[in-house]
Amino acid sequence: MSKIAFVQKNKIPPSPAPISEVGFIGWVKQNLFSSWFNSLLTLISIYFIFIILRDFIPWAWGGHWNTKSLRECLDLNPDVACFSVLTARWKQLLFGLYPAEEYWRPTVTFIFLILSMIPILFPKYFKFFWFSVIYPGLAIWLLWGGSIWGVGIVYIGLSLGIFTFILLLKLVSKNTVLSGIGALIFLIVFFMFLSNYLVNFLNIILPIALPPVESLKMGGFTLSLIVGITGIVASFPIGILLALGRQSNLPIIKMICVGFIEFIRGVPLITLLFVASVLLNYFLPPGTNFDIVLRVIIMVTFFSAAYMAEVIRGGLAGLPLGQHEASASLGLTYWQSQRLVIMPQALKISIPGIVNTFIGLFKDTTLVSIISLRDPVGLASTIRADQTWNGIYWELYVAIGLMFFIFCFGMSQYSQYLERKLKTDK
């Protein structure tokens, strides 16, 4: 018999791993004390964490909440936090200069915001999408006030437009483009000539209105949320279109998209905000009242749409060409294959980048303090300008930071949940 021949006689059954390699002990050994160098790093890290907590906990835990001024805090105990500034000014931090008797309006808007996001974030379990559709109009009306028919007419007009489109499609022509043009003409006629009369008429028969609040009164966290959420919601579809446009075979569309993306990305956001606040007025006809918050929202949206486009382009580039070919070979049209095959995958790949852009945008809303809008950071300066609280830093910024952290951490957690949920291999 030759030396290399071998036949296994008995199968070896699996046996449990050694105790020192599994469970808590195994984890500690593997992750914290795997070598003398790692053990040293672990000990040093523990020491630093200890020092930070040793100083921070007594400072925060023993903080004053009910003093009248910073002076009073310092007299009581200068070594602990003076959170009284938050007790005294929390309403301002949340609502800015919004009229106090109308605080319920931003509050209700915020509660509705959460409600309207639930069906979008968890579409499998909650199905009231209709609320997410009416929410934007509802929020605008609640925050800015005035007659409900100001935003209501937009919804009425768009519904009638969709109705016209379906009617044309069913009765006149099977062609979607022609019916679309028909519906568009209807919309133009409606909003140019009919809507004013209809609004006046509705105001007479059903006058529902709230006291108007002007944009400059918006502030605090309400303003951050208005700018941030609108920016996020609006920049997402624009980003998708820009990314598709950048990959387009049509040279003019491609050129416009590339030009837009490169220009907006190449300019600091502050510059864009200054353009929005100061320069835009020079270009508009005198006397035009172009709302400052709207101008800021447009700039912030453009800014993050440009980033979004690049993030999504990365996702598109990550897809094999075969996916396009397979969906084309099944007879799907360009838009069908984008919507059903390409985008679901490209967006899934880009989730970390997209959420990164969202979080960046949300925090960048604090830059509006530069053009003297009163977001929380802008308000912090205002509060410190007040004699009673002059000289306070940590407590205010810790609180503002914490509020932003809650939202950004929430977005980050949701994105991780989404990534887990959409994982389809294995």
On whether the CB atoms of residues 306 and 260 are closer than 8 A, the answer is yes
Should residue 412 be labelled a site residue for another protein when binding is judged by CB under 8 A?
Answer: no
**Smaller CB separation from another protein, 288 or 329:** 329
| Cβ closest to another protein, residue 68 vs residue 421 | 421
Please, how many CA atoms are within 13 Å of residue 41, restricted to the half-sphere of its CB? 8
Stretch that binds another protein, among 158-166, 250-258, 317-325, 390-398 (CB under 8 A): 317-325
CB of 344 to another protein, least distance (A): 5
C-alpha 277/C-alpha 373 separation (Å) is 10
Do the beta carbons of residue 80 and residue 59 sit within 8 Å? yes
Q: CB of 423: closest distance to another protein in angstroms? A: 9
Say whether residue 426 binds another protein (CB under 8 A): yes
The residues, any chain, with a CB within 8 Å of residue 301's CB and separated by 6 or more, are 230, 231, 234, 235, 238
Q: Closest separation between CB of residue 123 and another protein, Å?
A: 15
Binding test (CB under 8 A) with another protein, winner from 66, 173, 200, 336? 336
Quote the least distance from Cβ 315 to another protein, whole Å: 12
Segment interacting with another protein (CB under 8 A) among 70-78, 179-187, 212-220, 328-336: 328-336
Residue 323 lies near another protein (rule: CB under 8 A): yes
d(CA 225, CA 410): 14
Part of the chain binding another protein (CB under 8 A), chosen from 120-128, 132-140, 330-338, 373-381: 330-338
Nearer to another protein, 266 or 331 (CB): 331
Contact status: 178 vs another protein (CB under 8 A)? no
Which of these segments, 72-80, 230-238, 259-267, 329-337, binds another protein (CB under 8 A)? 329-337
Residue 76 or 340 having the CB closest to another protein: 340
x-or-dash pattern for another protein, window 340-359, by CB under 8 A? Answer: xx--xx--x-----------
Name which of 294 and 328 has its Cβ closer to another protein: 328
Per CB under 8 A, 330 contacts another protein: yes
Q: Which is nearer to another protein, 181 or 326 (CB)?
A: 326
Query: Which residues form the interface with another protein (CB under 8 A)?
Result: 320, 322-323, 325-333, 336, 340-341, 344-345, 348, 422, 424-426
